[in-house]
Amino acid sequence: MKLCKYSFGVGDRFNHEGLAQLKALIKANSLGVEVTPVWNKSNRNINQCS
pLDDT of 31:
96
Residue 26 included in any domain: yes
The number of distinct structural domains making up the chain is 1
Cα 14 from Cα 34, distance rounded (Å)? 27
Q: Is residue 32 part of a domain?
A: yes
Q: What's the mean pLDDT in 16-29? A: 86
CB 4 within 8 A of CB 20: no
pTM over 0.75: no
Residue 29 included in any domain: yes
Q: pLDDT digits over 40-50, tens only?
A: 545 455 555 65
